[in-house]
Amino acid sequence: MVIDMHTHWFSGDMPFSPAKWKETIKGTMDMYLGLVPGSNFTEETVEATWADPDGSRLIATMDADGVDAAVVLPIDYGILHGEEANIDWRAANKKHIELAKKYPGRIIPFYGIDPRRENAGQMFAEDMAADGYKGLKLYPPCGFFPSDEACWPLYEVCLEYDIPVLYHGADSGFFSENDGSHPAHVRRTMDKFPDLKVVYAHGGGFHWSEDMTQMLKEYPNFTTDISAWVLLPEEEFQRRMDRIKEVVGDYKKVFYGTDHPVYNPVAPAPVFIARIKGLGLPKDVEAGIMGDYAKAFLGL
Protein backbone atom coordinates (compact mmCIF):
# COMPACT_ATOMS: atom_id res chain seq x y z
CA MET A 1 0.00 0.00 0.00
CA VAL A 2 1.38 3.40 -1.00
CA ILE A 3 0.53 6.24 1.41
CA ASP A 4 1.47 9.86 0.89
CA MET A 5 1.97 11.06 4.45
CA HIS A 6 1.90 14.77 3.61
CA THR A 7 -0.57 16.49 1.28
CA HIS A 8 -2.78 19.56 1.34
CA TRP A 9 -6.09 20.36 -0.28
CA PHE A 10 -6.53 23.97 -1.33
CA SER A 11 -10.17 24.40 -2.23
CA GLY A 12 -11.22 27.85 -3.36
CA ASP A 13 -12.72 28.91 -0.03
CA MET A 14 -9.91 27.84 2.31
CA PRO A 15 -7.53 28.00 4.04
CA PHE A 16 -6.56 31.57 3.16
CA SER A 17 -8.57 34.78 3.27
CA PRO A 18 -9.39 36.14 -0.20
CA ALA A 19 -6.74 38.86 0.19
CA LYS A 20 -3.99 36.39 1.09
CA TRP A 21 -4.64 33.53 -1.32
CA LYS A 22 -2.38 34.36 -4.26
CA GLU A 23 0.09 36.36 -2.17
CA THR A 24 0.77 33.45 0.15
CA ILE A 25 1.13 30.82 -2.56
CA LYS A 26 3.36 33.06 -4.67
CA GLY A 27 5.58 33.67 -1.64
CA THR A 28 5.80 29.96 -0.95
CA MET A 29 6.81 29.10 -4.49
CA ASP A 30 9.38 31.90 -4.66
CA MET A 31 11.35 29.92 -2.07
CA TYR A 32 11.70 27.01 -4.47
CA LEU A 33 12.02 28.59 -7.91
CA GLY A 34 15.80 28.73 -7.79
CA LEU A 35 16.06 25.01 -7.18
CA VAL A 36 15.10 24.03 -10.71
CA PRO A 37 16.62 26.10 -13.56
CA GLY A 38 14.03 27.57 -15.89
CA SER A 39 11.15 27.24 -13.43
CA ASN A 40 8.64 30.06 -13.40
CA PHE A 41 5.71 30.66 -11.08
CA THR A 42 3.54 33.75 -11.08
CA GLU A 43 0.34 34.79 -9.34
CA GLU A 44 -1.47 34.07 -12.59
CA THR A 45 -0.57 30.38 -12.33
CA VAL A 46 -1.63 29.92 -8.70
CA GLU A 47 -5.23 28.99 -9.36
CA ALA A 48 -4.32 26.77 -12.31
CA THR A 49 -1.84 24.68 -10.30
CA TRP A 50 -3.11 24.79 -6.70
CA ALA A 51 -6.84 25.48 -6.55
CA ASP A 52 -8.84 22.27 -6.26
CA PRO A 53 -12.50 23.05 -5.45
CA ASP A 54 -13.78 19.47 -5.23
CA GLY A 55 -10.61 17.50 -4.49
CA SER A 56 -10.52 15.89 -7.92
CA ARG A 57 -7.08 17.35 -8.72
CA LEU A 58 -5.64 15.65 -5.64
CA ILE A 59 -7.25 12.32 -6.50
CA ALA A 60 -6.10 12.53 -10.13
CA THR A 61 -2.53 13.19 -8.98
CA MET A 62 -2.69 10.26 -6.57
CA ASP A 63 -3.94 8.00 -9.35
CA ALA A 64 -1.19 9.12 -11.72
CA ASP A 65 1.49 8.58 -9.07
CA GLY A 66 0.19 5.19 -7.90
CA VAL A 67 -0.77 6.45 -4.42
CA ASP A 68 -3.48 4.48 -2.66
CA ALA A 69 -4.22 6.91 0.17
CA ALA A 70 -3.06 10.34 1.29
CA VAL A 71 -2.93 12.14 4.62
CA VAL A 72 -4.55 15.54 4.00
CA LEU A 73 -3.48 18.35 6.32
CA PRO A 74 -5.50 21.53 6.93
CA ILE A 75 -3.52 24.56 8.16
CA ASP A 76 -5.15 27.32 10.20
CA TYR A 77 -3.64 30.61 8.98
CA GLY A 78 -6.31 32.91 10.46
CA ILE A 79 -4.37 34.35 13.40
CA LEU A 80 -1.13 34.65 11.41
CA HIS A 81 -2.77 36.70 8.69
CA GLY A 82 -5.19 38.57 10.89
CA GLU A 83 -7.93 37.60 8.44
CA GLU A 84 -10.19 34.58 8.44
CA ALA A 85 -10.86 32.32 5.49
CA ASN A 86 -14.15 32.39 3.62
CA ILE A 87 -15.65 29.75 5.90
CA ASP A 88 -15.55 29.02 9.63
CA TRP A 89 -12.43 27.07 10.53
CA ARG A 90 -14.32 24.18 12.09
CA ALA A 91 -16.32 23.94 8.87
CA ALA A 92 -13.06 23.92 6.93
CA ASN A 93 -11.92 20.89 8.90
CA LYS A 94 -15.31 19.27 8.39
CA LYS A 95 -14.86 19.58 4.63
CA HIS A 96 -11.91 17.18 4.92
CA ILE A 97 -14.20 14.61 6.51
CA GLU A 98 -16.65 15.12 3.65
CA LEU A 99 -13.83 14.68 1.13
CA ALA A 100 -12.89 11.39 2.80
CA LYS A 101 -16.47 10.21 2.49
CA LYS A 102 -16.55 11.24 -1.16
CA TYR A 103 -13.44 9.17 -1.90
CA PRO A 104 -13.65 6.17 0.47
CA GLY A 105 -10.31 4.73 1.45
CA ARG A 106 -8.32 7.40 -0.37
CA ILE A 107 -8.29 10.36 2.04
CA ILE A 108 -6.88 10.26 5.60
CA PRO A 109 -8.17 13.49 7.18
CA PHE A 110 -6.20 15.32 9.90
CA TYR A 111 -7.48 18.24 11.97
CA GLY A 112 -5.77 21.63 11.74
CA ILE A 113 -6.09 24.43 14.28
CA ASP A 114 -4.02 27.25 15.75
CA PRO A 115 -3.74 26.38 19.46
CA ARG A 116 -4.11 30.07 20.35
CA ARG A 117 -7.75 30.06 19.28
CA GLU A 118 -10.12 30.40 22.20
CA ASN A 119 -11.18 26.96 23.48
CA ALA A 120 -9.05 25.22 20.83
CA GLY A 121 -8.76 22.05 22.90
CA GLN A 122 -12.51 21.89 23.52
CA MET A 123 -13.28 22.42 19.82
CA PHE A 124 -10.84 19.69 18.83
CA ALA A 125 -12.28 17.28 21.40
CA GLU A 126 -15.84 17.92 20.22
CA ASP A 127 -14.98 17.59 16.54
CA MET A 128 -12.85 14.53 17.17
CA ALA A 129 -15.72 12.82 18.97
CA ALA A 130 -18.10 13.70 16.17
CA ASP A 131 -15.99 12.92 13.12
CA GLY A 132 -12.98 10.78 14.06
CA TYR A 133 -10.04 12.61 12.51
CA LYS A 134 -6.90 10.51 12.07
CA GLY A 135 -4.43 13.05 13.45
CA LEU A 136 -3.68 16.67 14.32
CA LYS A 137 -1.76 19.14 12.14
CA LEU A 138 0.09 22.01 13.84
CA TYR A 139 1.99 24.69 11.93
CA PRO A 140 4.33 26.53 14.35
CA PRO A 141 5.42 29.17 11.79
CA CYS A 142 2.00 30.72 12.36
CA GLY A 143 3.51 32.14 15.55
CA PHE A 144 3.56 29.55 18.33
CA PHE A 145 5.83 26.79 19.63
CA PRO A 146 5.02 23.06 19.98
CA SER A 147 5.94 23.27 23.66
CA ASP A 148 3.56 26.16 24.42
CA GLU A 149 1.00 25.40 27.11
CA ALA A 150 -1.72 26.41 24.65
CA CYS A 151 -0.95 23.18 22.77
CA TRP A 152 -1.31 20.90 25.78
CA PRO A 153 -5.10 20.44 25.63
CA LEU A 154 -4.72 19.40 21.99
CA TYR A 155 -2.13 16.80 22.94
CA GLU A 156 -4.44 15.40 25.60
CA VAL A 157 -7.05 14.76 22.91
CA CYS A 158 -4.44 13.07 20.73
CA LEU A 159 -3.46 10.82 23.63
CA GLU A 160 -7.09 10.00 24.42
CA TYR A 161 -7.73 8.84 20.86
CA ASP A 162 -4.21 7.47 20.19
CA ILE A 163 -3.68 9.66 17.13
CA PRO A 164 -0.50 11.52 16.10
CA VAL A 165 0.33 15.19 15.84
CA LEU A 166 2.17 16.23 12.68
CA TYR A 167 4.35 19.34 12.92
CA HIS A 168 5.85 21.38 10.14
CA GLY A 169 9.48 20.30 10.56
CA ALA A 170 11.51 22.88 8.65
CA ASP A 171 12.39 26.55 8.89
CA SER A 172 9.60 29.06 8.49
CA GLY A 173 10.69 30.52 5.17
CA PHE A 174 8.21 32.97 3.73
CA PHE A 175 5.67 32.88 6.53
CA SER A 176 7.47 34.32 9.56
CA GLU A 177 10.77 34.65 11.39
CA ASN A 178 9.52 32.33 14.12
CA ASP A 179 11.73 29.24 14.51
CA GLY A 180 8.92 27.39 16.25
CA SER A 181 9.53 24.22 14.25
CA HIS A 182 13.10 23.81 15.53
CA PRO A 183 13.66 20.31 16.97
CA ALA A 184 14.49 21.77 20.40
CA HIS A 185 10.85 22.80 20.85
CA VAL A 186 9.63 19.35 19.85
CA ARG A 187 12.09 17.77 22.29
CA ARG A 188 10.52 19.72 25.13
CA THR A 189 7.10 18.55 24.02
CA MET A 190 8.13 14.89 23.89
CA ASP A 191 9.85 15.08 27.24
CA LYS A 192 6.55 16.25 28.77
CA PHE A 193 4.31 13.97 26.67
CA PRO A 194 6.43 10.84 26.03
CA ASP A 195 3.44 8.82 24.84
CA LEU A 196 2.45 11.40 22.23
CA LYS A 197 2.87 10.13 18.68
CA VAL A 198 4.72 12.71 16.57
CA VAL A 199 5.41 13.09 12.86
CA TYR A 200 8.14 15.67 12.26
CA ALA A 201 7.41 16.70 8.69
CA HIS A 202 9.87 17.34 5.87
CA GLY A 203 12.65 15.39 7.60
CA GLY A 204 13.91 18.56 9.22
CA GLY A 205 13.98 20.41 5.91
CA PHE A 206 17.29 21.77 4.69
CA HIS A 207 18.86 22.50 8.08
CA TRP A 208 17.70 20.17 10.85
CA SER A 209 18.04 16.66 9.45
CA GLU A 210 20.78 15.64 11.90
CA ASP A 211 18.69 16.75 14.90
CA MET A 212 15.74 14.89 13.44
CA THR A 213 17.82 11.73 12.93
CA GLN A 214 19.05 11.74 16.52
CA MET A 215 15.47 12.15 17.76
CA LEU A 216 14.36 9.14 15.72
CA LYS A 217 16.79 7.14 17.82
CA GLU A 218 16.04 8.79 21.17
CA TYR A 219 12.23 8.95 21.19
CA PRO A 220 10.19 5.80 20.50
CA ASN A 221 7.11 7.74 19.33
CA PHE A 222 8.96 10.24 17.13
CA THR A 223 8.73 9.71 13.34
CA THR A 224 9.28 11.77 10.20
CA ASP A 225 7.97 12.25 6.71
CA ILE A 226 10.67 13.20 4.21
CA SER A 227 8.53 15.26 1.84
CA ALA A 228 11.01 18.16 1.46
CA TRP A 229 13.89 15.86 0.56
CA VAL A 230 12.74 15.69 -3.06
CA LEU A 231 14.32 19.16 -3.35
CA LEU A 232 17.77 17.96 -2.25
CA PRO A 233 20.60 17.09 -4.62
CA GLU A 234 20.61 13.34 -5.18
CA GLU A 235 23.88 12.78 -3.33
CA GLU A 236 22.62 14.69 -0.28
CA PHE A 237 19.41 12.65 -0.26
CA GLN A 238 21.51 9.48 -0.31
CA ARG A 239 23.74 10.78 2.49
CA ARG A 240 20.76 11.58 4.74
CA MET A 241 19.15 8.20 4.18
CA ASP A 242 22.45 6.49 4.91
CA ARG A 243 22.78 8.56 8.08
CA ILE A 244 19.37 7.40 9.32
CA LYS A 245 20.38 3.79 8.78
CA GLU A 246 23.68 4.40 10.58
CA VAL A 247 22.14 6.10 13.63
CA VAL A 248 18.75 4.39 13.94
CA GLY A 249 19.42 1.03 12.34
CA ASP A 250 16.34 0.92 10.12
CA TYR A 251 13.76 3.09 8.33
CA LYS A 252 10.64 2.00 10.19
CA LYS A 253 9.85 5.54 11.33
CA VAL A 254 10.47 7.18 7.94
CA PHE A 255 7.45 7.93 5.74
CA TYR A 256 7.09 8.93 2.10
CA GLY A 257 5.36 12.26 1.50
CA THR A 258 5.09 14.87 -1.24
CA ASP A 259 3.60 18.05 0.30
CA HIS A 260 1.19 18.07 -2.68
CA PRO A 261 0.68 20.47 -4.38
CA VAL A 262 3.52 22.64 -3.03
CA TYR A 263 6.49 21.06 -4.81
CA ASN A 264 4.63 19.81 -7.89
CA PRO A 265 5.72 22.64 -10.21
CA VAL A 266 9.44 22.12 -9.49
CA ALA A 267 9.77 18.52 -8.28
CA PRO A 268 6.78 16.30 -9.08
CA ALA A 269 6.19 13.09 -7.16
CA PRO A 270 7.49 10.68 -9.85
CA VAL A 271 10.93 12.23 -9.41
CA PHE A 272 10.90 11.42 -5.70
CA ILE A 273 9.47 7.95 -6.16
CA ALA A 274 12.23 7.13 -8.63
CA ARG A 275 14.83 8.45 -6.21
CA ILE A 276 13.53 6.26 -3.37
CA LYS A 277 13.46 3.22 -5.63
CA GLY A 278 16.99 4.08 -6.73
CA LEU A 279 18.30 3.60 -3.19
CA GLY A 280 18.46 -0.14 -3.86
CA LEU A 281 16.78 -1.06 -0.59
CA PRO A 282 15.24 -4.48 0.03
CA LYS A 283 11.73 -4.56 -1.42
CA ASP A 284 10.05 -4.85 1.95
CA VAL A 285 11.95 -1.82 3.26
CA GLU A 286 11.13 0.18 0.14
CA ALA A 287 7.46 -0.79 0.53
CA GLY A 288 7.65 0.21 4.17
CA ILE A 289 8.88 3.72 3.43
CA MET A 290 6.35 4.09 0.62
CA GLY A 291 3.42 3.27 2.87
CA ASP A 292 3.48 0.10 4.93
CA TYR A 293 5.23 1.79 7.88
CA ALA A 294 2.74 4.67 7.80
CA LYS A 295 -0.18 2.25 7.62
CA ALA A 296 0.99 0.55 10.81
CA PHE A 297 1.74 3.86 12.54
CA LEU A 298 -1.72 5.26 11.74
CA GLY A 299 -3.47 2.04 12.70
CA LEU A 300 -5.16 1.64 9.34
Domain ranges of the chain: 3-298
Query: Tell me: the pLDDT tens digits for 60-119?
Result: 999 999 999 999 999 888 887 776 667 788 998 999 999 999 999 999 999 999 999 999
CATH C-level class of 3-298: alpha beta
Q: What is the pTM of this model?
A: 0.92
Query: Tell me: the pLDDT tens digits for 136-165?
Result: 999 998 899 999 999 999 999 999 999 999
The predicted pLDDT at position 17 comes to 54
CA 241 to CA 254: how far, in whole Å?
Answer: 10
